[in-house]
Each structure stands twice: as structure tokens, then as C-alpha cells.
Amino acid sequence: MEPADCIFCKIVKGEIPCAKVYEDGQVLAFLDIAPVTPGHVLVIPKAHHADLFALPDSLGAALLAAQKRVGRAVMAAVGASGLNVQQNNAASAGQVVFHAHYHLIPRREGDGLRLWPGTPYADAAGMAAVAAAVREALASLE
Ligand code: AMP
């Protein structure tokens, strides 16, 4: 059930305009209105799903295929040598629009956008403890 105020559902229905670059039966891709780099595209499922965790696994192949196809095209169109795929889930992770979407962000050498470097774990035991906690959480899901 889609929320009445979902801006991406309104784009899918044509109630709000977008700079569409790709569409198939399940997926829509359009330019982000506030690009992180030139050519920044959003790939969304046409059906409303709030985030990654709400996405049906059955949509995965269509979304991945669109990311690859549109990603290659946007890199060629803007002359980029790389591409970041970013996907935010929940406000703490920077999600602002609660209709699942993938950001395709074209990259060029020296473009100044900094996503990394990360901070290494302080020690091997700390890293092993995090990995064990994730494996335990996965086991409790199964
Ligand atoms: P997120 O922070 O992952 O939820 O990203 C939401 C993205 O949607 C932001 O990068 C916005 O610039 C973009 N956005 C919001 N409204 C529109 C719109 N009407 N058309 C295109 N992009 C939009």
C-alpha cells in the first residue's frame, strides 16, 4: 500500500515530472534533482516499497539489470570513468525519500567527492567479534 504523499509514486504515475532516462515494466530511472555529480541517476521500482528490506527478492534481477544498463549509459553520456551505486535505508543512513531507490553516481578522477577512506578496526579481535555478531544475527533469522 503506497503512502498518499510518496513523491516517487507520484513520479511513477506521472503526477510530478521527472527527467526520465529509462523505463521497463517494473523499473523507472530518472535524473536526481540535486545531483552529487553530473548525471546522478535514481533507479527505482515502480511499485512502492519503503526500503531495501521491504523490496521483494523477485524484483532484484530487474533492478540490478537496470543499474548495469543505465549505469553504463550514464557513464558514456557524461564521460565518467567510474560509478558509485549508493542505497540509503532509514533516516540515520541519510534516507529522505521512503520509496526504495538506488543512486547511480558517475565518477571522474579528481572529482573531489569523498566517500572513503574508512577507519580500520583497532585490532583483529574487535573485527572478529563484529563478524561473529553478524553471523549470529544471520543464524537467528534462518
Ligand atoms: P535519499 O537521501 O537516498 O532518500 O535520496 C533521495 C534523493 O531523491 C535525493 O538525492 C534527492 O535529491 C532526490 N529527489 C527528491 N525529489 C526528487 C524529484 N522530484 N526528482 C528527482 N529527484 C528527487
Three-state helix/strand/coil letters over 29-88? EEECCCCCCCCCEEEEECCCCCCHHHCCHHHHHHHHHHHHHHHHHHHHHHCCCEEEEECC
Other Cβ atoms closer than 10 A to 33: 10
How far does the centroid of ligand 1 lie from the alpha carbon of residue 71, in Å?
17
| Residues with Cβ within 8 Å of residue 36, at least 6 apart in sequence | 103, 105, 113
| pLDDT in the model for residue 2 | 78
- Ligand 1 site, CB within 6 A: 7, 16, 18, 32-34, 42, 88, 94-97
Phi, psi of 83 (to 5 degrees): -155, 130
List 40, 48, 99, 101, catalytic entry: 101
99 is catalytic: no
Q: How many domains in the chain? A: 1
- 105 within a domain of the structure (yes/no): yes
Please state, as a whole number, how many other Cβ atoms lie within 10 Å of the Cβ of residue 38: 15
Q: Which three cell numbers stand for residue 112?
A: 573531489
Task: Report yes or no on 138 lying in a domain.
Answer: no
Q: Which of 15, 30, 40, 96 to mutate to test the pocket of ligand 1 (most atoms within 8 A of CB)?
A: 96
Domain of 59 in residue numbering reads as 7-113
Q: Answer whether residue 63 is part of any domain.
A: yes
Residue 136 lies in a domain: no
Judged on CB neighbours under 10 Å (0-12, 13-18, 19+), 77 is middle
Give per-residue pLDDT as tens, 90-102: 999 999 999 999 9
Q: Which atom of ligand 1 is nearest to the CA of 32?
A: 22
Chain CA centroid to CA 28, Å:
13
Gap from CA of 56 to ligand 1 centroid (Å): 22
Give the distance (Å) from ligand 1 centre to CA of residue 125.
39
Ligand 1 atom closest to Cα of 18?
Answer: 20
Sites in the chain below the pLDDT cut of 50: none
Contact 54, 77 (CB under 8 A): no
13 is a domain residue: yes
Q: In this structure, what CATH number is given to the domain that contains residue 106?
A: 3.30.428.10
Determine the 3-state secondary structure of 129 from DSSP. Answer: helix
